[in-house]
Structure 1
Amino acid sequence: MPAAPRKKTISPQRRELYFFSLYRLLEACLLALVAFSPVGEMLVRLREPTLLQGMVVLYMIAAVALLVAGYRSRLPPPTQAAIGLAIDILVAAGTLGTTTGSQGGIALLLLFNVGAGALILPQRAGIGFALTAALVMLGDSLLLRTFDLENARPLAESVMFAVTYLATAVLCELLSRQVLESQALAEQRGEELASQAEINELVIRRMKTGILVVDGEHRIKVCNEAAWALLGKPSPDRRELADVANGLHRSLMAWRRGRGEIPKAMTLADGAPEVLPRFVSLSLTDNLFLIFLDDSRMYSDRAEELTLATLGRLSASIAHEIRNPLAAINYSVQLLEEANELQDADRRLLEIIHTQCQRMDGIVRDILGLARRERSQPETIDVGQFARRFVDEYRASHPLETDILQAVAERSTLAMADPRHLHQVLTILVQNALTYGRMPGEPARVTVAVRTAPPGSPPELDVIDRGPGIPAAVASQIFTPFFTTSEHGTGLGLYIAQQLCEANQCTLSYQPVPGGGSCFRIVLPQGMTLVQDAPSGHMNMA
């Protein structure tokens, strides 16, 4: 939708100059009435009528020209005001010199000119013109007292007019300063409000919660991106709520009638998730309503998190109680294995007991690791060196026999991560790869590789096997806690690995390998990576 053209604004000084020019035109008309009509002879006595008429004609032309120039001239308003006020004072002096008995009226007319000029002009210029007008009035009074004493007005009157001019100029200049400061403050507040409105609009648009604003006739006024997606991405031309989401329209109608009925979860479009609407009235006249569309998956995820947290605490308590008798059983089995009179069948049974005790001890360790996850303490590590060192340590502590475990790192890559957490994640992934990532009757081939990426990209650490891979239906659930396809697994390994990655602001994902196999990829966050080229040693912040 094209933006509406912005209305041209007029500055306060331009507006004041316009009214000043109109007043000058009014003054010219009054002087023309005095100079060209019989009424003028009733008001004042004309000493030089021809000179006065010529001066009034010129003043009328100047008044019209200044009125037009106020809009079309590129001269700044103070300059135009100074020119006009100088002409006003000259015309006032000429009128006083060509008439008799007009001093009071001219002095009052000139008072407004002095005040209006002080509103537009700088302080010194405004006071200077006021002083000039005062001198004109005092000079005319002194000349009359010298040459025409009969028509001279009291000198005190001229002095009071002079003082009034100066006081008016000072007060109008102070008023102008306050007006400009208020105008500047209003513009600043307007810009701040406009910026705040833009920020609010951006926040609402980017919120994950769907937000709709509808009027009393259920026409959509505002719709953010999340609500648009939940509604099935309708056309912007469709503004009727009943047309876009009839179920939501009926639910809002029921809420408006009931004022207490709890809305039910609903699906607003094919393929869209189920949402739980919430309604808020924005006015007492029922003319505007705010609708929140909460994705029900957020509630289920939160409930799952609370369930897992509770289950983790409960499992940790049970694990503590299991570990002590388990250790006693394991120790007793080791003592029985040392007896010489045991038969082979009995030794086989003891071996089974010992194996199952070790398995149970591993389950207890997984559960305690889930319940006692320590806060990450990231530090700068070389991912390539870390991968090679991990592989060497794993080979030394875990006999691989015919299995193959290798590390591949083509370049030195620096990143921020907790080495203990990363070591635990790699241990889980490598154990899973050696256990499940093998073809029947063949040794496992597992690679821990630092994936080469363009400079500035986040480093990626892959654990790759050449086994049968993971079916798509199973791959979508492998990070779910307690999900496992093995009779001997707990379903916690990959979940713990993913949680540790998230604690380090990394991501762990499964990537199928073309030609068979699996790849678990760890991606470190781009904002916390350092990339260093091995040959030059030049380091760049990603």
Structure 2
Amino acid sequence: MAPTPRKSQASSPQRRELYFFTLYRVLEAALLGLVAFSPAGEMLLTIREPAMLQTLVVLYMAASVALLVASYRSQMPAPHQAAIGLGLDLLIVAGTLSTTTGSQGGIALLMLFNVGAGALILPQRAGLGFASAAAIIVLADSLYHRTVDPLNARPMAESVMFSVTYLATAVLCELLSRQVTESQALAEKRGEELANQAEINELVIRRMRTGILVVDGDHQVRVCNEAAWALLGKPSPDRKQLADVAGELHKALGRWRSGRSEIPRPMTLAEGAPEVLPRFVSLSLTDNLYLIFLDDSRIYSDRAEELTLATLGRLSASIAHEIRNPLAAINYSVQLLEEATELPEADRRLLEIIHTQCQRMNGIVQDILGLARRERSQPETVDIGQFARRFVDEYRASHPLETDILQSVAERSTLAMADPRHLHQVLTILVQNALTYGRMPGEPAKVTVAVRSGPPGAPPEINVLDRGPGIPPGVAERIFTPFYTTSEHGTGLGLYIAQQLCEANQCTLTYQPVPGGGSCFRIVMPPGMTLMQDDTSSGRLNLA
């Protein structure tokens, strides 16, 4: 198995391990100095060459101190320094064994720590190499003494056991080092993930539309996101006390902490800011922190309006179904009466009025049913220029315009994503409104369905324009509100349904006043997803 590579640059744990390794080496040098220079050394072992041993000990002490200083000052990688120190240890051990007698057991035990510490820092092959070198030194010394002085030589089995112990220690320490390295890498990875998650959480909280405040037990603001800062009137960062920033909110929090249960009521925290509904949550009993949510009261109003509209739509749909059956019977009876040959002219006129009003009621029922059961959009790539031309041709064929004018204008082939059925329904509503209300008194209506592609990258648009009197600003703000109408014949649902259908297709429908008079309803559409389209003028394929 290939050895696991390690980083050449020493990490902080390796520096710490190297420091204690070199510190232990200084202790070893001190013990050898005690043996070489103290009278007690003669009691521990027999020194055959005192001068040589003392020279080795002095050099070893100087080198140990130098390596200790280099362990925290030198820029040399930790494995290199450990290899130099361990090589020095083996040389000193070999010299000590050659100048003394009876010291093999003690020296071998001292070397056990050096071999293990070296395996923790060095790569796998280097650690096993130094362990093998130590084993060879011990075995060679044992063989030498058995050859020179067999009577006083130590058992060969002892040297073999020391050698095996060196190798086993190197392997175990190397495995331990690998596990520690992997654990450290995993811890660093988890730390980075936690830091990234904390940064993401902070960004999410900062960008939330709901205002969020974190205050401590003294009502001092600890955290304030952008929405809360705006709702508080953008106070200075130096103002930390909640009572100074929002006195009413400070009192409400105090009442909540005292246990007085009350229904949250809207409050305005700054001049010009919207009303908010505060909600309080205790984060921790020990840290005494409180979380305050500041919800814009308009959100609840919009939700209530949506629920009301949904309920009203379902109710209206059930009523519309009940109206449709008798309405169909009345319309069918009128058609039968119109076939009579001896019907007076006055009665025939009454039948026309009944037929017209039945058609009007059927249109109202259709609008209500469209509001109640809107189908899910199924968008596809549509050439809206060609679609607009085909729509105008079909509308003129099915709706006699008499003197009114309906035309289409398309600059070139333009692709967009939309549900063709929904787009047809939206254009029908806008064109009918333009033909009905977009005319000057006594003049024919002139309605244009214009497709504009804009510059490259800009979303395509469909504009329905008329040359009528326009819409007053006060009315224009409410034209997309359901059931709002200024006409006694309208339901106020057409533009609302058109806007809902546009939103279902990721489009936007807006009203734009036309300079010089008239109205423009603009549909901004997402671009088509097709990458290539046929350029019929040049006979080649171009990027869309």
Q: TM over 0.5, yes or no?
A: yes
1:492 counterpart residue number: 493
Greater Cα offset, 507-516 or 224-233: 224-233
1:458 counterpart residue number: 459
1:353 counterpart residue number: 354
2:526 counterpart residue number: 525
Contact 2:379/2:505 (<8 A) preserved: yes
Seen in structure 2, the aligned counterparts of structure 1 residues 357 and 217 have a Cα distance that, compared at 3 Å, is same
Q: Distance in 2 between matches of 1:217 and 1:450?
A: 62
2:473 counterpart residue number: 472
Q: What is the identity, as a one-letter code, of the residue corresponding to 1:84?
A: G
Contact 1:35/1:52 (<8 A) preserved: yes
Q: Distance in 1 between matches of 2:487 and 2:390?
A: 30
Would you say 1:316 and 2:326 are equivalent positions? no
Would you say 1:105 and 2:103 are equivalent positions? no
2:171 counterpart residue number: 170
Would you say 1:436 and 2:414 are equivalent positions? no
Would you say 1:405 and 2:406 are equivalent positions? yes
1:20 counterpart residue number: 21
Greater Cα offset, 339-348 or 245-254: 339-348
Q: Distance in 2 between matches of 1:126 and 1:279?
A: 61
Q: Deviations over 1:122-145 (max 9, x none)?
A: 333222211221222232233334
Q: Deviations over 1:83-105 (max 9, x none)?
A: 21111011111122223343332
TM-score of the pair, normalised by structure 1: 0.91
How many residue pairs match? The answer is: 534
Q: Distance in 2 between matches of 1:65 and 1:155?
A: 36
1:414 counterpart residue number: 415
Give the CA RMSD over aligned residues.
2.6
Greater Cα offset, 353-362 or 137-146: 137-146
CA offset at residue 18 of structure 1? 2.0
Seen in structure 2, the aligned counterparts of structure 1 residues 530 and 486 have a Cα distance that, compared at 3 Å, is farther
Q: Distance in 2 between matches of 1:83 and 1:527?
A: 69
2:93 counterpart residue number: 92
Structure 1 portions without partners, runs of 5+: 1-7
Seen in structure 2, the aligned counterparts of structure 1 residues 290 and 183 have a Cα distance that, compared at 3 Å, is same
Q: Distance in 2 between matches of 1:271 and 1:63?
A: 75
2:4 counterpart residue number: none
Seen in structure 2, the aligned counterparts of structure 1 residues 9 and 209 have a Cα distance that, compared at 3 Å, is farther
Seen in structure 2, the aligned counterparts of structure 1 residues 446 and 9 have a Cα distance that, compared at 3 Å, is farther
Contact 2:509/2:521 (<8 A) preserved: yes
Greater Cα offset, 291-300 or 414-423: 291-300
Greater Cα offset, 414-423 or 55-64: 55-64
Greater Cα offset, 503-512 or 129-138: 129-138
2:522 partner SS? strand
1:3 counterpart residue number: none
Structure 2 portions without partners, runs of 5+: 1-8
2:50 counterpart residue number: 49
Q: Distance in 2 between matches of 1:120 and 1:140?
A: 27
Greater Cα offset, 190-199 or 445-454: 190-199
Q: What is the identity, as a one-letter code, of the residue corresponding to 1:523?
A: V
Q: Deviations over 1:359-397 (max 9, x none)?
A: 112111111121222221212210100111111111112
Seen in structure 2, the aligned counterparts of structure 1 residues 40 and 526 have a Cα distance that, compared at 3 Å, is farther
Contact 2:384/2:451 (<8 A) preserved: yes
Overall identity of the aligned pairs, in %: 82
Q: Distance in 2 between matches of 1:101 and 1:408?
A: 110
Greater Cα offset, 172-181 or 94-103: 94-103
Would you say 1:296 and 2:306 are equivalent positions? no
Q: Distance in 1 between matches of 2:269 and 2:532?
A: 46
Seen in structure 2, the aligned counterparts of structure 1 residues 443 and 531 have a Cα distance that, compared at 3 Å, is farther
1:313 partner SS? helix
Alignment of 1:125-144 (within 5 A): 125-144=126-145
Alignment of 1:184-223 (within 5 A): 184-223=185-224
Q: Distance in 2 between matches of 1:528 and 1:59?
A: 77
Q: What is the identity, as a one-letter code, of the residue corresponding to 1:194?
A: A
Greater Cα offset, 523-532 or 293-302: 523-532
Contact 2:216/2:222 (<8 A) preserved: yes
Q: What is the identity, as a one-letter code, of the residue corresponding to 1:508?
A: L
Q: What is the identity, as a one-letter code, of the residue corresponding to 1:108?
A: L
Seen in structure 2, the aligned counterparts of structure 1 residues 528 and 247 have a Cα distance that, compared at 3 Å, is farther
Contact 1:446/1:466 (<8 A) preserved: yes
Contact 2:381/2:529 (<8 A) preserved: no
Q: Deviations over 1:212-250 (max 9, x none)?
A: 222222222222333233223333333322222222222
1:282 partner SS? strand
Q: Distance in 2 between matches of 1:21 and 1:464?
A: 88
Contact 1:131/1:165 (<8 A) preserved: yes
2:271 counterpart residue number: 270
Q: Deviations over 1:389-418 (max 9, x none)?
A: 111111112222222211111121111111
1:390 counterpart residue number: 391
CA offset at residue 211 of structure 1? 2.1
Q: Distance in 2 between matches of 1:394 and 1:508?
A: 21
Seen in structure 2, the aligned counterparts of structure 1 residues 94 and 233 have a Cα distance that, compared at 3 Å, is same
